[in-house]
Structure 1
Amino acid sequence: MRKIIAAINMTLDGFCDHTAGIPDDEIHQHYADLLDNADVILYGRITYQLMQFWQKLLKNPSGEKSMDDFAMAIDRVPKIVFSHTLTNTEWDSAKLANRDIEEEVLELKQQSGKDILVGSRSLIIQLMKLNLIDEYQLCVHPVVAGSGLPLFEKITDRTILKFIKTKTFSGGAVTLYYEPTNGKTTNR
């Protein structure tokens, strides 16, 4: 059974904003490696459209090795996009989901292969509510944004996580690795 990994960047005050983090060579390499160890990444429409930025770097490389390597890694990994409004993906390695997220993920999980990544805040929230995430990798950047979209918005159940490890980057970001203990309690 494959593992579902929720991997996302966030600020110290808990907001998910791709423009607020401090990506550097080391972080780009970390995520390129993560993508190379996955068979698929799941995106919602908004995050998917943001990630299409990397297609431009494939056509016109930046000259920065870590960014260009990440662009190649994100291009290689198959992507499944959950959207009610997109009619096509315009990216050869991406396809639109044709089932709801629970059905799609349960089938993917039963297949053999490498990890399944979840790279969208909205999908992380949905899968967390369905108790389908096997590991959280939260890359916390040393930035206080002050406002934005909180990662765990509209979560009504208390979820207990078990700490696995950390990975510290020279620029000050830290990835925190957790797995759920299935010790969910309802707070209603």
Structure 2
Amino acid sequence: MRSVTYSMGVSLDGYIVGPDGGFDWTEPEPDVFRFWIDEIRQVGVHLLGRRLYETMLYWETADQDRSLDDAEREWTALWNPLPKVVFSTTLSEVRGSNARLASGGLAEEIERLRAEPGRARSRSAARPSPPRPASWA
């Protein structure tokens, strides 16, 4: 049976968004980004909430962005084929490679994922987002 690893990037006060509701405070330094690249290699499926899903949609087509550095290209190559399960009460559909809307509650979905064959690690998705390309400035 697959295991589930819950990993979350938060500020010391426990928040995952900044005062303005954005994720930009989570933009990691290069060595931290390397850590996340190494971590994502071990993940079999990624669980996301709506806000992070919408933030991460950029990476679905980022490989077309000529301004990406090598680490960003590596992240894109790992992220795109990774299965993603999006939890939302407001979305009726999701887009992007290998993304699907959760059909049940969190506990139900995790039990379903754990019973599937495949990599032995699932991951939550409240984590630092990869560096934002200069085109986002």
User: Same fold, TM exceeding 0.5?
Assistant: yes
Aligned to 2:125: 119
Pairwise CA RMSD of aligned residues?
Answer: 2.1
Give the equivalent residue in structure 2 for 1:54. 59
Gaps of 5+ in 2: 18-22, 129-137
Distance 1:87 1:110, change over 3 A: same
Q: Per chain length, whose mean CA-contact separation is higher, i.e. which structure has more relative contact order (CA < 8 Å, sep 6+)?
A: 2
List structure 1 segments (4+ residues) > 6 angstroms apart after TM superposition. none
Query: What secondary structure, in the 3-state scheme, does the structure 2 residue paired with 1:109 have?
Result: helix
Q: Larger strand proportion, structure 1 or 2?
A: 1
Query: Is 1:25 equivalent to 2:30 in the alignment?
Result: yes
Sort the Cα spacing of 1:97 and 1:21 in 2 relative to 1 into closer, same or farther, 3 A. closer
Q: How many residues align?
A: 122
Aligned residue type for 2:108? E
Summarize deviations over 1:138-177 as a string: whole Å, max 9, x none. Answer: 88xxxxxxxxxxxxxxxxxxxxxxxxxxxxxxxxxxxxxx
Give the structure with the larger helix fraction.
2
| Correspondence list, 1:3-22, <5 A | 3-17=3-17, 18-22=23-27
Where do 5+ consecutive residues of structure 1 fail to align?
121-137, 140-188
Trace 1:35-184 onto structure 2 (pairs within 5 A).
35-114=40-119, 115-120=121-126
Q: Which has the larger radius of gyration?
A: 1
Identity %: 24
Is the contact made by 1:79 and 1:95 (CA closer than 8 Å) also made in structure 2?
yes
TM-score (norm. length: structure 1): 0.58
Decide whether the 8 Å contact of 1:3 with 1:109 is kept in 2: yes
Post-superposition offset of 1:22: 4.5
Is the Cα contact below 8 Å between 1:36 and 1:77 reproduced in 2? Answer: no
